[in-house]
Chain A
Amino acid sequence: MANRSGPQRPNGTAQAKICQFKLVLLGESAVGKSSLVLRFVKGQFHEFQESTIGAAFLTQTVCVDDTTVKFEIWDTAGQERYHSLAPMYYRGAQAAIVVYDVTNQDTFGRAKTWVKELQRQASPNIVIALAGNKADLANKRSVELEEAQAYAEENQLLFMETSAKTAKNVNEVFLAIAKKLPKNDQNVNPSVPVNITAWLTICVLRAGHF
């Protein structure tokens, strides 16, 4: 498995700051939202990933510079019947990854709709990343890289083509978001355990998955 580029072993002596962010994944069904999360959190990929029921909640911690960033991730279900529930998950989210499938133009259209909805309804400072997933299926591509890139620039989104299957750019997307998120006191985990070392051990253990 590819070495994890992002999370470094926290320096035990450094003044560690811990931030907690709520991140939501949105996008059409079957574009690979759960697969991206599963790759990021557990380092796994399932060829037959089941369609998500409702939404799944996971956490993962990464370390950026001297800060430990704990993501609280909402992996939402892309099926149409769940759309009305989406605001529940993006409300109050500091970050969102809008996912489309590079082999399916419709899902790119749907991603744009999600971006619009987020820009209108989510918190104004939300960091949005656009992920063109299934980049490993380049031969079936139907959304050009340039097209998506241009759109992302226009809308000031982070953008990457990813593959949950090969792990390409998966950690990178999350890290790019972590870097862009403001790490002011507001986001410092209010319930930081008194025992910081224990907390960091968890961080290390989790990173150890990769």
Chain B
Amino acid sequence: MPVGELTSTLANAPGYEIDPSRVPAVTPAEISTEVPLKSSDLGNSAELPTEATSLEIKSCSSSATFTMPAADVSLVTSSVLPGLGSSSINALSANTEEPSELSESNTPSAVGMNGDDESGSHKDNFEGRGCERAALNDFKANVIIEAEPKASESNQEKDLVVEESDLRDSIETEAWRGEQRHVFVLSSSGKPVYSRHGSEDKLVTLFGVMQALVSIVEDSDDKIESIHFGKNVIVFQVRGPIILVAVSKKNDSVLFCNNQLTYVYNQIVSVLTLKTVTSIFERRQNYDLRRLLAGSERLIDHLLQFYETEPSIFMNGISYIPMPSAHRESVSSAIVSACSKIKNLVYAVLVANNKLISLARKRGYSMSPSDLHLILNMVAASESLKTAESWTPICLPNFNIDGFLYAHVSYMADDCPACLLLLTVDQEQFFQLSEAKMKITEKLVKNKSMTFINEVLKAPPSLWMSLHALGLSKIRHFIYKCRKTSIVVSSPLSPPYSTTEEANALFTKYQTLYSSMIHSNPQIHTLFQTSAEESVVCLLTEKYEILVAVEPMVKKQLALDMITKLCQWVQSEEDRFFLSSVPYL
């Protein structure tokens, strides 16, 4: 049974008793030889025999027991992959302009890309990881000895005692179990903070188990990072007093999950600042963070979906609304001239449809893509911003993780989807910024930019027409990222990718391909994956990265030729997609 269904084990286990006999049943020797590398099943979704794959987690009143008799479970902790823990986190919150840095610390080879069963070679890989074996030994030993006192010590006794019926009610719902991706956030004492699906209140046992897993591994001076199971993965991130967990049944890479969790973490920090989070838990270890986050679940929900299907976020880059550079410059100059005298104003951002129209910044401050994504997410997830001028504190972790900026947020007009954000460090500046906004509107109306913005947003210049004209109509969708500028250009999602499910399916393919390449060593530069629905191509060059979906049956060489042509076209049109220089305020 795949790990993603661990909950069903939990719910169906008779009586929720600890079954100590099962724990010692696994000898270290068995694990060291049998546990294959985590990615062994990448691209190989063949069903695994039940008993060979079970990672059982049983819960019994205030203790949690884990048995791992399984052959196909692998646990990755930070001592095994020293780079993965902290470095993967850093790499993503800044930018991934040099994703190759990551590749070394992650999976050792481009695994399973062709769907071949490569388990043989994984064993070899695993042999080289003596410390992982050691970690697993510790893990088992600690399960029995440490789990019980830990759980009861932590004031969480009540939370961990869960009626059987509670479990049945919540975890066993088909819909909940059927979800392909889960994200959980909890405090280090095991208090629920967030669950992507279902209500956290009903999942206390599960949260308790996650907390126990983390602390068991921590007790052996190690850090749990991921658990692998067939094509399922559970990824853990411990960030001070906060634990974030992603569960995926979609073949997602650890990197992908980790990046997603980092976004969730940044979103939480963005609402509260790190300083607040830290000091709250310093004062009260079992504080219920939901009190302070109330109302932000919406932002996290939206961010998760955004991360999975919004090209610029997916590629950790920035997208602009395509428009002739002269037009963009006149928009920018209107903004700059209205704002240049305002002290303490750090950024002026004009966005629409999850893309930038213009960005101006104070000299000496750049905007990191992931900070921009938090802004885009807030705008996209908050209908209420359309009804009034808003004034809100927002922490941009890469600007200042411990402090707030104050954002004046307003739409350009009732019927205009362009939203202006003026971000300052001065919380008393609302009226000054409100005035600046009025001036900007006036200027944009006067120099006709407003009309132009409206036109562009209503009828974006069709990329399809251009693709057609170029003879590239067999290209259904693409995402192009310039490595130097992090600028992402993508075609709109239209049939057959217009529904969320279809888009999700395509992006999952992109992601699997992309991560396996980023992880590859030596670097793989081209990957071509065919299926009945489409062929997906991923190309990494020094200058750019591109992901393309083409019609099925298109021959590889033809696809590559088309992509070359497409890239040439994007580069020749750079002016429309790129902001050549970010103006200063």
Contacts and interface: CB of A to CB of B under 8 A. Distances in A.
B295 A85 contact: no
B339 interface: no
> Which of B291, B392, B428 has the most A CB atoms < 10 Å from its CB?
B392
Given A50-B382, A81-B272, A57 B291 contact: no
A75 B388 contact: yes
Contacts of B427: 85, 88
Nearest to A74: B391
A57 B295 contact: no
A49 interface: yes
Contact of A50 (B294, B384, B389, B428): B384
Interface in A19-45: 29, 34, 37-38, 42
A37 B387 CA distance: 10
A84 B295 CA distance: 17
A54 interface: yes
B270 to A, nearest CB: 11
A51 interface: yes
B294 A79 contact: yes
B384 A55 contact: no
B390 A56 contact: yes
A50 B383 contact: yes
Contacts of A67: none
A80 B291 CA distance: 7
The secondary-structure label for the interface of chain A is mixed
Interface residues of A, number: 23
A8 interface: no
B393 interface: yes
A138 interface: no
B294 A55 contact: no
A55 B385 CA distance: 10
Interface residues of B, number: 25
Contact of A53 (B272, B292, B384, B428): B384
Nearest to A73: B388
Given A49-B384, A50-B298, A50-B383, A55 B390 contact: yes
A53 B392 contact: yes
Contacts of B382: 50, 53
Contacts of A54: 390-393, 407
Given A53-B382, A56-B384, A81-B292, A88 B390 contact: no
A57 B272 contact: no
Contact of A85 (B272, B294, B385, B393): B393
A54 B427 CA distance: 12
Nearest to A76: B391
Interface string A172-188: 00000000000000000
B426 to A, nearest CB: 11
Interface centre among A37, A54, A58 (most CB of B within 10 A): A54
B387 A56 contact: yes
A29 B388 contact: no
Contacts of A38: 387
In this complex, which of B294, B384, B393, B434 has the most chain A Cβ atoms within 10 angstroms of its Cβ?
A: B384
A34 B271 CA distance: 20
A205 to B, nearest CB: 14
Contact of B295 (A51, A58, A88): A51
B66 interface: no
A137 B294 CA distance: 24
A53 B378 contact: yes
B391 A29 contact: no
B236 interface: no
A169 interface: no
A182 B383 CA distance: 36
Nearest to B381: A50
Nearest to B427: A88
B463 to A, nearest CB: 33
Contacts of A57: 388-391, 430, 434
Nearest to B271: A81
Contacts of A149: none
B292 A52 contact: no
B292 A80 contact: yes
A20 B100 CA distance: 60
Contact of B389 (A37, A56, A85): A56
Interface string B276-314: 000000000000000111110010000000000000000
A29 B290 CA distance: 14
Interface in B353-384: 378, 382-384
Interface string B187-230: 00000000000000000000000000000000000000000000
Contacts of A49: 384
A54 to B, nearest CB: 3
Given A50-B298, A50-B382, A58 B271 contact: no
Contacts of A56: 384, 387-391
Contacts of B390: 52-57
A49 B428 CA distance: 27
Nearest to A75: B388
Interface centre among B378, B388, B390, B393 (most CB of A within 10 A): B388
A158 B385 CA distance: 30
Contacts of A34: 384
B292 A58 contact: no
Given A34-B384, A49-B384, A50-B383, A55 B434 contact: no
A57 B191 CA distance: 36
Given A53-B378, A53-B384, A79 B295 contact: yes
A58 B295 CA distance: 21
Interface string A106-147: 000000000000000000000000000000000000000000
Contacts of B295: 29, 51, 53, 77, 79
A172 B294 CA distance: 31
Contacts of B378: 53
The 8 A-B residue pairs with the shortest CB-CB distance, nearest first, are A54-B392, A56-B388, A51-B295, A50-B384, A57-B389, A58-B388, A53-B392, A81-B292
Given A29-B295, A54-B407, A81-B292, 19 more contacts: A34-B384, A42-B387, A49-B384, A51-B295, A51-B384, A52-B390, A53-B378, A53-B382, A57-B389, A57-B391, A57-B430, A58-B388, A75-B388, A77-B295, A79-B294, A80-B292, A81-B271, A81-B294, A88-B427
26 contacts: A29-B295, A42-B387, A49-B384, A50-B298, A50-B382, A51-B294, A52-B384, A53-B382, A53-B384, A53-B385, A53-B390, A54-B407, A55-B390, A56-B384, A56-B387, A56-B389, A56-B391, A57-B430, A58-B388, A75-B388, A80-B294, A81-B292, A81-B293, A81-B294, A85-B427, A88-B427
Interface of A: 29, 34, 37-38, 42, 49-58, 75, 77, 79-82, 85, 88
